[in-house]
Amino acid sequence: MKKLNIIIIIFLLFSLSNISAEELDKRNKITKNLRCLICQGQSVYDSDSEFANSLKIVVDEKIKEGLSEKQIYDYFKEKYGDWILYDPGINKYTYFLWLLPLLIFLFGGTIIYKKLIKKL
Amino acid sequence: MKNKILPISLILFFIIIFYIFYKGLEDSKIYTPNLNTTIKIPNFNIKDFYTNETIESSNIFKSDEVYLLNIWSSWCVPCRQEHPLLMKLNKELGLNIVGMNYKDNKENARDFLNELGNPYHKVFTDLDGTIAIEWGAYGVPESYLISDNNIIKKYVGPLNHEIIDEIKLLIK
């Protein structure tokens, strides 16, 4: 009986740690993309400030509530604005940032293509 | 002419890029929160500082009244600095000040209020700082002027005489 109890406990511990490992991965991913607004160049994941620690608790709560990554980002965006995200989506303030590399690539590509055509 | 189009457009392109980045240098690198937008107050449950009872936010903030929510802590030095001004606001204007004790030791918080006076009509406890996140707070001290269940002004940092004058004007 004792052995069975131990096996059950070990099984439960393993299954519990599996769930929390998944949650931990999600939490780490999210907190790495959240900026610690009171720190200098640190993410919430890296920071141990009061603000970052509270944010980590809120992220945990939101994950437990079943919110998706996007929903959690939207929640923080609503509270603190786009600045809290390290990886903001395309909007009127960031479209240039997103499109610039593509424009440079196309521009450079055209120059190289034209030069190559000329040589051939 | 055809040969000149490419270098001219290249130069133009780099001038535009240079201008954009040069303009970017003038922007402040310090994050400044948006303090002037009107936002609805969040819904939350919070524990009363004295009775430890859980209270819903809708029972704290009534729609027809003006409130000043002050996030404070006994370990925060600027909170000590602004406390006499909160006492003044309460005494002179009778403003409904709600205190939210942030990540604090209860005994120390109680001593803080006993020593400097209690300007709050109601005091609540935010032990893990998650309610402050609901408000979009960065730390302590922070104050929110609330009217009609909307945040009409947010003050990050300690209150000063200028802010007190502004609050007086706003609540008139």
C-alpha dist (Å) from residue A110 to A87, A98, A120, B119: 29, 20, 15, 69
- Interchain CB contacts (distance < 8 Å): A and B: 38
The partner residue sitting opposite B133, judged by closest CB among A54, A81, A83, is: A54
Judging by DSSP bridges, how do beta strands B122-126 and B96-102 pair with one another?
A: parallel
CA–CA dist B141, B76 (Å, integer): 7
pLDDT for position B161: 93
* pLDDT exceeds 70 at position B166: yes
Measured in angstroms, the CA of A3 and the nearest CA of chain B are apart by 40
Mutation target to probe the A interface, by most A beta carbons within 10 A, among B18, B130, B131, B140 is: B130
Q: Residue B167: what residue type?
A: I
pLDDT one-digit tens code per residue, B96-117: 999 999 999 999 999 999 999 9
CA–CA dist B12, B119 (Å, integer): 62
Tokens of B104: 């604090």
pLDDT for position A107: 85
pLDDT for position B29: 61
Measured in angstroms, the CA of B137 and the nearest CA of chain A are apart by 8
pLDDT for position B83: 96
Q: In what order do the strands lie in the sheet with B54-56?
A: B39-40, B150-156, B142-147, B66-72, B96-102, B122-126, B45-48, B54-56
Share the mean pLDDT of chain B: 89
Measured in angstroms, the CA of B135 and the nearest CA of chain A are apart by 7
Q: Is the ipTM of this complex over 0.85?
A: no
Region for residue B41 given its phi and psi (left: phi exceeds 0; alpha: psi -120 to 50; beta: otherwise): beta
CATH topology of domain A20-88: Helicase, Ruva Protein; domain 3 (1.10.8)
pLDDT class for B30, splitting at 50, 70, 90? low
pLDDT for position B146: 93
Of residues B30 and B125, more confidently modeled: B125
pLDDT for position A118: 84
| Domain residue ranges of chain A, discontinuous segments joined by + | 20-88, 94-120
Tokens of B73: 């802590």
- Percent of chain B topping pLDDT 90: 68
CATH superfamily of B39-171: Glutaredoxin (3.40.30.10)
pLDDT for position B9: 82
pLDDT for position A11: 63
| Domain residue ranges of chain B, discontinuous segments joined by + | 39-171
Class of residue A83 by CB neighbours under 10 A (exposed 0-12, middle 13-18, buried 19+): middle
Per-residue DSSP letter, A88 = -
The partner residue sitting opposite A54, judged by closest CB among B20, B34, B130, is: B130
Residues of chain A with pLDDT under 50: none
Question: Taking the model in full, what pTM does it have?
Answer: 0.75
C-alpha dist (Å) from residue B36 to A30, A32, A68, B28, B100: 28, 29, 30, 18, 21
